[in-house]
Structure 1
Amino acid sequence: MFKLNNLYIVILFCICNTHQTSTAQEASVLFNLSAKTIKEATKDNSLHIGIRGSSMPLTWVNDILLKDNNGDGIYTVTINFPIKTKTDVYFKFVLNQVEWEKGDARKLRLEPGTTTTYEAEFNYESRPGNPFEKFIGTWSLKDNSWEQGNKDETTQLKIYEHQTVCKELNTDNSLLWTVNAPSARGHILWVYNHKQKKVNHLSSFLPYRSGIGKGSITKEGNVSLKIAFEGEPKNTYRLYHYNWVNDDEYVLESIQYDQSGTKTGDFYGGSFIRVDKDHFVKQKIQNILNVLDNKKTTLQEKLDVWSEDLIHMAPNHSTITSKKQLANFLEAEKENTDITMKHDIIDILSYEDTVIMRGAVNGSFSKKNSQETIPFSTKNLFVFKKNKNGILKIWKVIYNMSSNNQ
């Protein structure tokens, strides 16, 4: 029995020993990756740098994340590879889960039971930049002039408050146009395919005018497009040309063609100039202020520029919170004094439905039947808001009296 037990122990030892010698050993690698080669700002606030590869625990599908723990621009991670023999590991670094570093996969030969430090720089492929960059900004019709016509006649129009805002989206190969004008409201999306070197166009305008097309852009930024529109005669299309005059002006031309490629005579176009982003808001506010300043403006016209839930705070006067109270205030002011004044815009902050304006008023007043004229100067803070019809109205205002020499 003793001999059998000894034999069993010997056999068990041999089995265990054989299993241990065939178990994979780990090769440990410390990856130190410099991200200083990534010059352009990414669309994320912080870099997400991962590593993918051919040998477990790496895969070509999911990232193992590297981290910059001390903010020195060096991203690190330690990875243990379970290998039995010398193994070639192929791998690449990936930025923000979608941008692979340029060049072929890197290779590292590993041996079981070893520790290695791998230092490298991210092989960043510089982005070509947004080809539509020149268009980014706010635009208006030059001299408010628009031309359109057909084979029988040509018409020159004046279109006021035409505003086009062009913005880059969260990719640097796209441009979103938002068009607001009394006669046109809509949007346009351009996306550039760098490999095909083509511009893809989608658009939608009220009431029923969606467009789809393609085109090209030159190194100078001039864009040519072929677009088919909903609501236009069947099998017709338009050729659009956006040609730059200078960095702050471009000319738009649209010409319609039939299915045979012959001009139908239908066309439109105009020149657009770059304006301040708050250009139109300032215009609307200045028009409201002009109503307040104009002595010939009727009481009702003055009341019409105010919101129903107004708040009016002037020095040495009770707070006004209704149009009835405001009407009484303005009537008493007109009956007892002669006021000449001019509101000025100092600066504004514009939001979707509200506008905050810091301003000043300079002028003079005299009591009725008095020869004495007293100059005055006030600083003020206006808050405007859009009513349910989208019209800007005075909502809240506070006047602070200051000396006339400030």
Structure 2
Amino acid sequence: MSVLSGKKVLLGVTAGIAAYKSATLIRGFIKAGASVQVIMTESAKDFVTPLTLSTLSKNPVHSSFTVEGDDNAVWTNHVELGLWADIMVIAPATANTLSKMSQGTCDNLLLATYLSAKCPVYFAPAMDLDMYIHPSSKENFSKLISYGNIMIPATSGELASGLVGQGRMAEPEDIVRFIERTIEGKLPLKNKRVVITAGPTYEAIDPVRFIGNHSSGTMGVELALRAAALGASVDLILGPSAIKVHHDLISVHHVVSGEDMYEAVHNVYGQCDIAIASAAVADYKPAQVAQEKIKKNDNELAINLVKTKDILASMGEKKQGQFLVGFALETENEEENALKKLKKKNLDAIVLNSLRDKGAGFKTKTNKITFIDKNGSPTLYDLKSKKEVAADIFDQILLKTT
């Protein structure tokens, strides 16, 4: 999964021959998981049609301040477009448009939106060799960079004029990757390693039956996705779960039993910076596992249970600089029990769930938490989606670790 997944990209297309590459660029952003809207200058329509870009982006293409409606003209709100975008990319960016951007000239919808944008703005110059190296172009590049814009340098190659040299717009796939790398480099967990346990564990009774619980692993998976979105390399140690996880920064370690999870955790725990134990590990397991299926012969069946290894306690004992977060799912005396667990297991924070809160707990798309730091200070959150809860948890972790 790309760091562009879920991002809103506003693509500005200006009147250069490289505008034909904008179709491929849109495809690249969408493949990375982004939503795309396009603004074209009027002259850009001579190089690529709005219909093509609208079809690929699955959104109307904007090019003027007004659009003729059934009865009267409808205003295109450039401010709204600028606020909508997480990222604005102007590609190709011609010498004419770059000059206007650097001077604050505002004579078309694209420039008005650029001046209204609150998001990072990338520009990919495309022009002939002599234009690219002209002192005025170099001055415009420097000015735009000084304003906080990010330049995607042109490459060398055959130009429309027949000359060979610098000025060719970067290839669409290189533009996408350039933006990804720029975002990744600014992420707060870049070069950090995070270990997350998730899901249930199953403790075998016989080859057919097991002791388990209702955990789906959703909360832990959302935590792993959030950590990866923040730039971390993630080891997700996942008990039996139907959820499939695909992300370049997430290594999934599939386990079944508590013993499996214990081993998997301690294989990676020593190298991590942050660890979150969100798995619902079975507290007990059968003392003996039957080698054959137990037959239903009697009205009663007694199974002798023994404690499983306390994974979280072992992580607290072996902690050497890691920021360790546990989960507490309680039904009574919630905060008191969570605080006891926080101190007993040498945690840096604990996330409290109460099964008495509607919409929290297992097999739901939502959760309601209280984040308690090592000093016992609680932060209460309202009921939210588990994706939002994961973001809240990492906001707290970043607050405590930076």
TM-score (norm 2): 0.23
The structure with more strand, counted as a fraction of residues: 1
Give the structure with the larger helix fraction: 2
Superposition TM-score, scaled by structure 1 size:
0.23
Higher RCO, 1 vs 2 (CA within 8 Å, ≥6 residues apart): 2
